[in-house]
Structures are given as structure tokens and as C-alpha cells.
Amino acid sequence: MMKTHSDSLPLTSYNLVTFVSDFLQLTKFRLAISVVFSSIAGYLLAVDQIQVSILLGLFLGGFAMVGASNAFNQWIEKEKDALMDRTKNRPLPAGRMSDITALIVASTLTLLGIYILNNINFKTALFGAFSIFIYTCVYTPLKSVTPLSVFVGAFPGAIPFMLGWVAATGSFGIEPGVLFMVQFFWQFPHFWAIGWMMDDDYKKASFKMLPTGNPDQATAFQIVFYTFWTIIISITPYTQFSGRLSLSLGAVICLVLIGLYFLYHTLKLMHNKSKEAAKKLMYASIVYISLLQIIYVLDKWI
């Protein structure tokens, strides 16, 4: 029987919905949006008057760059993803998307992201391209070799917060440097909490994510140590030694309070050494960095 146009509509619709769903998984849409939020926060800290065109460029270009990094990462790690419960249903290991499709998506997003960010200014595009290169070509292969991969991965992960400032000013100085350091140090407790939660799964794929290789006391101590330094760095703009980036006393009090909340969960992990404590720490770290960026922005604009 010949299929009519009306008969093909449900199939076409289903394929489109499936592709969109797989695209969102391939690019890690929710993660990409949170990264874009960091870039926008950095931009708002640098300007006194908002330019919608730059804000839109940061949103679209930032999403494209993060999405490209994630797509390349999944393309490279498809065989390892198939070994882990957490990732085996992703588009590539599940067979819903071909390798060539994923590569085309990643490459297109890379070119699109660089083009959009370059329309803002060259340095913004340069930092964006650098983050894709480090994440894809250095961090991703190192995950199977050494726990130092988390240190390497923290560089592209810390770029978005400072990228907004660079987009606004066209320059890199002490202000974006501080923003970079805040997000750089924050990533260690965040990703080690995830590594602690997923340790059994990661070991199936031979990923080395924890600093000692195991969810033990030494790893927990390092999580506490980096959390402490994250809190210290977050309040350095109050010292007035960070150029135009400054904080009021009220903002510092708020930052200390959310920092203590963050630190509390790291200490709970060190005491309990359980996956449940690691999960709570992971969520606490997300709450902390989100509130920190909101406090920074509100302190400037209110």
C-alpha cells in the first residue's frame, strides 16, 4: 500500500521530536544554559548600560560553544558511555544518532559559536575557542589517564564567568581574573562530589576522576580544602584590590553565609563518606555558585 502524506506525518513528527530530544542530550542543554547564565552574570558585572545585541550574542554563542564541547566529548567517549549506567542511553551509545551526525552537529556549533562571539570581539571568540580545544582535546582523553584531568577541565569550566566581562570590555585584567578563579576553585568540590557519587560507574569506563582514585578521607579533605579557598576568593573584591569589581559589606555577609552552607556539606561528606552525602554536596555546590553570581550582580545593580 502506498503511504499517503497524512500517513507520513506522525512518523515525521516522531523523528523530529526524537532528534530534538537527542540534540538536547548531546549538547547537555541544561548544563549549557547554566554556563550561559554564568557568562551573562559576568557581562552584567562589567557594564553600566546593557547592550541587548551583546547579551543575545553571549547567550547564543555561549550555548553553541558549550554544546559543541559536549557533543565532541560524547562523540569521543561513545564506547565508554555505553559501559556506564548513567550514560548508556545517550544518543550515540544507544544507537539513536550516528557518529557522522554528532560530528556535524559539534562542528557546526563550533563554527557558529566562534562566528557569533567574534562579532562581539575577538578576545571573546578566542577564549571560547580555547575552551572547546582544552575540553575536547586535553581534558577528555586525560579522564582515562590521570585524576589531573579534573584540574585541566577546570580551565574551560572557569572561562564562562569571566567571558562575560571580556565580552563587555574587550580586555582581560584583574576583574575577569577574579571571576575566573572563583569558578575555577569551585569546580573541584563540585566535580569531585559527582565523582564520589558515580565512582562505581566511572570505574566501569576506567575514568580517573577522584584525586586519590578512591572516595576516601584524603579525597574528602581536598574537597574541604578547595571549598574553603573558593569562599575566600569569592570575597576578595571587598578588599578593593580587584579593580572595578567590588562588593559591599552586605554582599560579603551573604557570600559568607552561603559559603558556610557549602562548607557544611563538605564536612558532612568528610564525616559520613557516603554517596548520599556526596549527592547533597553536589546540589549544595550548584546552589552556592548560582546564588554567588546572583549576589554579585544584585550588589552591583541595586
Which set of grid coordinates corresponds to residue 52?
541587548
Q: Within this chain, do residues 129 and 188 fall inside the same structural domain, yes or no?
A: no
Q: Final residue of a domain: which of 147, 171, 195? A: 171
Q: Within this chain, do residues 117 and 178 fall inside the same structural domain, yes or no?
A: no
Report pLDDT digits (tens) over 222-240. Answer: 999 999 999 999 999 999 8
Report pLDDT digits (tens) over 197-222. Answer: 999 999 999 999 999 999 999 999 99
Q: Within this chain, do residues 103 and 185 fall inside the same structural domain, yes or no?
A: no
Q: Within this chain, do residues 160 and 212 fall inside the same structural domain, yes or no?
A: no
**pLDDT of the residue at 229:** 97
Distance CA 120, CA 227 (A): 34
> Is residue 4 in some structural domain?
no
* Structural domain that includes position 268: 173-302
Q: Within this chain, do residues 225 and 137 fall inside the same structural domain, yes or no?
A: no
Q: Within this chain, do residues 189 and 157 fall inside the same structural domain, yes or no?
A: no
**pLDDT of the residue at 10:** 52
> Is residue 5 in some structural domain?
no
> Is residue 6 in some structural domain?
no
**pLDDT of the residue at 16:** 83
Q: Final residue of a domain: which of 123, 146, 171? A: 171
Report pLDDT digits (tens) over 98-147. Answer: 999 999 999 999 999 999 999 999 999 999 999 999 999 999 999 999 99
- Kindly report the pTM of this predicted structure: 0.91
Which set of grid coordinates corresponds to residue 252?
560579603
Distance CA 185, CA 23 (A): 30
Q: What are phi and psi of 241, to 5 degrees?
A: -105, 25
Amino acid in the structure at residue 275? K
Q: Within this chain, do residues 273 and 253 fall inside the same structural domain, yes or no?
A: yes
Q: Within this chain, do residues 220 and 158 fall inside the same structural domain, yes or no?
A: no
Q: Within this chain, do residues 67 and 98 fall inside the same structural domain, yes or no?
A: yes
Does residue 3 surpass a pLDDT of 70?
A: no
Q: Final residue of a domain: which of 125, 156, 171? A: 171
Q: Residue 287: count other Cβ atoms within 10 Å of its Cβ.
A: 14
Q: What is the CATH number of the domain that holds 148?
A: 1.10.357.140
Q: Within this chain, do residues 87 and 154 fall inside the same structural domain, yes or no?
A: yes
Q: Within this chain, do residues 86 and 26 fall inside the same structural domain, yes or no?
A: yes
Rounded to 5°, angle at Cα 65 from 259 and 113: 135
> Is residue 7 in some structural domain?
no
DSSP 97: S
DSSP 3: P
> Is residue 135 in some structural domain?
yes
> Is residue 2 in some structural domain?
no
- State the total domains in the chain: 2
> Is residue 43 in some structural domain?
yes
Report pLDDT digits (tens) over 61-92. Answer: 999 999 999 999 999 999 999 999 999 999 99
Q: 3-class DSSP state for residue 81?
A: helix
Nearest to 74 by CA among 54, 98, 47: 98
Angle (deg, nearest 10), helices 52-76 and 99-120: 150
Q: Within this chain, do residues 94 and 156 fall inside the same structural domain, yes or no?
A: yes
> Is residue 8 in some structural domain?
no
Nearest to 43 by CA among 161, 206, 174: 161
Q: Exposed, middle or buried, 277 (CB in 10 Å: 0-12/13-18/19+)?
A: buried
